[in-house]
Every structure is written in C-alpha cells, then in structure tokens.
Amino acid sequence: MPVLVVGSIALDTVETSHGKAQDSPGGSALYFSAAASLFSPVDVVGVVGKDFDFSTIEFLREREVDFTGLKITEGKTFRWGGRYKENMNQRDTLFTHLNVFQNFRPAIPEKYRQDKLIFLANIAPELQLDVLAQVEKPALSVLDTMNFWISGARDLLMQLIEKVDVLILNDEELRELTNKFNMLESANLLLEQGPRAVVIKKGEHGSVLVSRKGYFLAPAYPVPEVVDPTGAGDSFAGGFLGYLAACEDIDELNIRRAVVYGTVAASFTVEDFSFNRLKSITREDIESRFNEVREMTAF
Amino acid sequence: MPVLVVGSIALDTVETSHGKAQDSPGGSALYFSAAASLFSPVDVVGVVGKDFDFSTIEFLREREVDFTGLKITEGKTFRWGGRYKENMNQRDTLFTHLNVFQNFRPAIPEKYRQDKLIFLANIAPELQLDVLAQVEKPALSVLDTMNFWISGARDLLMQLIEKVDVLILNDEELRELTNKFNMLESANLLLEQGPRAVVIKKGEHGSVLVSRKGYFLAPAYPVPEVVDPTGAGDSFAGGFLGYLAACEDIDELNIRRAVVYGTVAASFTVEDFSFNRLKSITREDIESRFNEVREMTAF
C-alpha cells in the first residue's frame, strides 16, 4: 500500500563540524520518501523549479517512489541554508529562499486520492487542511508542524489536530502548543482533541508514544558520529509510516514498532549529508539496527 | 547479603514549587539506605551530631539497616538548604553547613569489612580511597562523585576509577571528566581505566549502561508530578545495589535489571519530600513499577 506525502522539496546548503554540502537534495517530502520507500511505495506531492536535477534522486524512483504529484514550474527550487553548532542540537538558518515553494498549492492527483496512509509534512496548516479535503478518508493521517505555525496559525492547527490520527512533534513544540511544562500531560491534552496517538521526539533522548493505551518509551539509536542532523524528523516519519503501510493491522504493537523503525531510519539519515546514507542502505540494514535496539533495551 | 554505604547524613531544607520541607532527614547515605533496604540489608557508615532525631529514620532500622558504623559526635548534623527552579532540573544551594561532616573520617567497623557490595557515595575521593583500603576485596564497588571533585581532585578521582567496578554519574559529570562531548565515547574511555560498567544518569531522559558487553538504554519512569528531586541519584544507586545484593550472579542481565530497579526507586523518591515516599512503599510497589517499565518499553 503506498504512503502519500505532501511536503517540501529543497536544495539544502548545510554546514556542520564535519564539512559542508552545497545545494544537495533535501526537504521534508524527499527525506520522508527516502526512508519510507525502504518499506513501501510512496506517492509524492510537491513542487520544484526547472533547475532541479532529477538524477540526484533517481534511487527514489527505483524504490517505487511515484512523482506523478510533483509539479515542475518555471523558476528556482526552494533553497535553504543552515549551519549547525558543535553539539548538533542547535542551528542557525543562513538563508531561506522559498522560490517556487512560495506559491505551492498541493493538488492531489486522482490516483493518490485513495491512499490509506498520509503524511502531512510541515507546511502551512491551511494547505494541510486542503490536502485532507482532497483525499478520501485515510486509515491513518499523520501530522507534522513547527513552532512557526504553532504561534502563527494556532486556530487552523487546532482544527487540523481534530482531524488527524497521529501527531508527531518535538518536546519543545509540544510545550508551545499546550503551554504546559509536563510532556505527558501535554500529550494527553492533545489526545482529547481527537488524535489516537502523539509521538514526542526528543532527539538524542529518544521518543515517547502517547496513546489511549498508555506510554511507549523508545530510546534513540546511539549513533557514534552525527554528521548532519538535517532530515532526521522527516525520515523518522518516513520509517514510521512506511512500516505501517506494510502492516496488516495498525494496532498498538505495530505503532510501537513503527516508532522504532522511525528511530532507526533517522539514525541512518544523520550519519551523512543529505540522504547519502539512506541511499546506500537496504531494508536488511534497517532490520539489523531494529534488532540492535531490541537487544539494547532488553532486561 | 548486606550492602555497605559510606556517605553523608544530613538535615535538608528544601523548597520546590510544591512547598517546603524544613530540616528533614536526607544525605546520600540515608537516601541510598531507604531505597536499598527495600531489597536487602544495609550497613551504614556516616556521622551525625547530637541533634539528630533518630525517630525520623526508625523505619530504616525496621528494614534491617544497620547503624553500627554511624558515629554520633558533639556538634550539629550536616545541614543543606536548596531551592529548585520551576522545571526541577536546576537548583540553587541556599546554604551548606558541614558541621560534624567537616571532619568525617570513615571508620569501617570490623563486621562490615567483608561486605561484598559497596557504595562509595559522593564524598572526597581521598576518603573514598581510604574506605576501599579498609575493606576486603568486594564483589562490586560502585562510585559516585560530583563536579566539585572532578575539577578539584581529578588525580585522586582517576586513581579511584581504576579501582572500582561501576561508576555512576550524570551526563554533565561524564563530559567534565573526559572532556569529550559524545557520551558513549566518554564512557568507553572510562571503561579502559578499569571499571566493568559506567551508568550515565540523564534525569527525566533515563539512563545508559555502558559495559564491555554493549549498551543498555533505560528510560526514566514517567512520574506524573515531581515534588522534590533531592536524593534521586542516591536512591537510584540504592535500588541498583540493593537489587544486586539479592542476586546470585552479578551478570550483565542482572546489572541491566538493577538499572531499572534504580530508576524505579528514584521515581518514588521524587514524588514527595525527603524519603516520605520511600518510607511508605513496599517491595511489591517496586515490582509493580518495574513491570510497568517492562510494559512501557516492549515492542
């Protein structure tokens, strides 16, 4: 079963203590696809400019990522530049050129409208709502967002939260969204709004799945050397949804496992710039690290 | 088998957003004992002044905590006062009156010298070395320390690290000790100095056990409301060593479980001031929360 993703496609220029990557493919939709396609087919909705070099993402097509929903328009592709601090937990944005992404209005192709799993990557809540209106009722819709929308479009975001099944966000975003300090209390408040689960990402400290069935406490995979954290969150979502798309049932146990697969996908992403690492691995590498996490948490 | 603990006994005055406790019993040796005694007998070496009110710790005697090694001297008991910030992760020390603790020279009673498990709570490394010299080779010696000694008595501390079996410290202390940013790299460096395991405490983010057998990633128990974090670290050590003292073998699996028991003991401690909570619980309460952690980490 394919997973539908609607999000950004960008050319990133990233500097970390390990070097610099110039104009390399990135953006939420591609990071998501690179991870999810290790598990299942992916349908992409996004926009790029005429300058986008498709040869750099040829591996995605080979993994059954469908780009029917990709619009190629006059103008330049979205460009983002950032520099990470030594500890890799903080970064400065050096530039953001929205370019063709500025006027992105997601149009869901007919053939994607019955996709059962949907990832609403971080774009304006208004557009995310519009995407939901274009698809038939999916089995699982997953929402990502960011501080910018939490403070700038809170009402629309709250409307969205009532409609989606899973909310994935980091601990800081969660606090900003609920104005509560206690993470679990915050997540439970959000569950009352409608979603069946909230996944709280805590970076190197792992993640917590909060659902009506209780808590699942997942560690981060201990990556020996983080080279570039860009895309970790979107590949987490990719591993999470990609795994679930291949499952018979989307039950609590599979959602827990999906969190671990998300963790594992993200752990590969950060080991190199862009999706160089996700490009080189196979499903077997994912399984091997999944089993390592199992071993590292057994007691 | 009894566990030997050498550390401080204090009267703490603590303020948190949940209230204030005045001159309530505390100190590393007592927090350790309150937790460890839920699993096994404890032998205590420490010092108090004539003002110490033993009725407040009567429950420890009932749990087979032996105070033969407790010296009662002229003068006042060690007093510490602190105020926690709203997030409970930071605190200001309001006063430290060492009083009789100033001249503490641990003398290990004859009957304790063959104890097989030892906790060297946070005191001057010089005194910790002296304790090790007074006991016969223990099966497991566990060391705690703090930033003050890492910067002020580094050489003695490094001598100690060569002699002990397990080092328990928080992520900040670990970084200060090795001058490395990566936690796991730091822990592995310390393993090269002699210890068989390093336990890194990350507060609400859980803990990591690093040994030659690999990593064990343990979550923190999600405490709904932290009332007073004082003593969490020492009760972690108490649960850890108390459990191991009751084990036939101190193997990797039991050390992992000991980490979880430490986590559980600490989770009770922080739910109330002083050891009010540890006083009221039983081994069954510990087991119940241990099983909850198992359930919350299963996938």
In angstroms, the CA B259 to CA A129 distance is: 45
Pairing between β-strand B197-201 and β-strand B207-211 as defined by DSSP bridges:
antiparallel
**What is residue A89's predicted lDDT score, i.e. its pLDDT?**
81
Q: CB distance from B291 to chain A under 8 Å?
A: no
**What is residue B290's predicted lDDT score, i.e. its pLDDT?**
98
In angstroms, the CA A246 to CA B99 distance is: 66
Residues in chain A: 299
> Cβ contact (<8 Å) for B217 and A219?
yes
Percentage of residues in chain A having pLDDT higher than 90: 95
In a mutational test of the B interface, the residue from A87, A170, A189, A217 whose CB has the highest number of chain B CBs within 10 Å is: A217
Closest CA to B220 of B210, B205, B209, B201: B205
Single-letter amino acid, residue A285: D
| Cα–Cα–Cα angle for B167, B184, A184, rounded to 5 degrees | 90
Cα–Cα distance list, B108 to A265, A272, B42, B234, B278 (Å): 53, 54, 13, 20, 26
Query: Which pLDDT band, with edges at 50, 70 and 90, does B218 fall under?
Result: very high
Instruction: Enter the tokens of residue A297.
Output: 């948490």
pLDDT at B76 over 90: yes
Query: Which pLDDT band, with edges at 50, 70 and 90, does A181 fall under?
Result: confident
**What is residue B87's predicted lDDT score, i.e. its pLDDT?**
80
> Cβ contact (<8 Å) for A299 and B202?
no
Q: Which domain holds residue A118?
A: 3-297
In angstroms, the CA B62 to CA B55 distance is: 12
> Cβ contact (<8 Å) for B219 and A225?
no
Average confidence (pLDDT) over A101-114: 96
> Cβ contact (<8 Å) for A202 and B205?
yes
Contacts of B298 in chain A (CB under 8 A): 256
User: Nearest residue on chain B to A290, judged by CA atoms?
Assistant: B299
**What is residue B88's predicted lDDT score, i.e. its pLDDT?**
85
Q: Please tell me the distance in Å from B108's CA to the nearest CA on chain A.
A: 34
Q: Count up the domains in chain B and report the number.
A: 1
Average confidence (pLDDT) over A169-191: 92
Q: CB distance from B257 to chain A under 8 Å?
A: yes
Report the CATH number that the domain containing residue A165 is assigned in CATH.
3.40.1190.20
- Helix (H) or strand (E) holding B199, with range, is strand B197-201
pLDDT at B181 over 90: no
In angstroms, the CA A281 to CA B126 distance is: 51
pLDDT digits (tens, 9 = 90+) for B121-151: 999 999 999 999 999 989 999 999 998 999 9
**Lowest mean pLDDT: which of A88-92, B23-27, B48-52, B57-61?**
A88-92
pLDDT at A1 over 90: no
Which residues does residue A95 pair with via DSSP β-bridges, in sequence order? A81
| Average pLDDT value over all residues in chain A | 96
pLDDT at A86 over 90: no
User: Nearest residue on chain A to B86, judged by CA atoms?
Assistant: A181
ipTM summary value: 0.93
Residue in the structure block whose two tokens are 């859980």 = B206
In angstroms, the CA A182 to CA A75 distance is: 45
A123: left (phi over 0), alpha (psi -120 to 50) or beta: beta
pTM, rounded to two decimals: 0.95
Average confidence (pLDDT) over A175-203: 94
| Average pLDDT value over all residues in chain B | 96
Q: CB distance from A157 to chain B under 8 Å?
A: no
B299 vs A181, A208, A260: nearest CB = A260
pLDDT digits (tens, 9 = 90+) for A125-142: 999 999 999 999 899 999
pLDDT digits (tens, 9 = 90+) for A30-44: 999 999 999 999 999
- Taking each helix axis from N to C end, the angle separating A125-134 and A154-163, rounded to the nearest 10 degrees, works out to 30
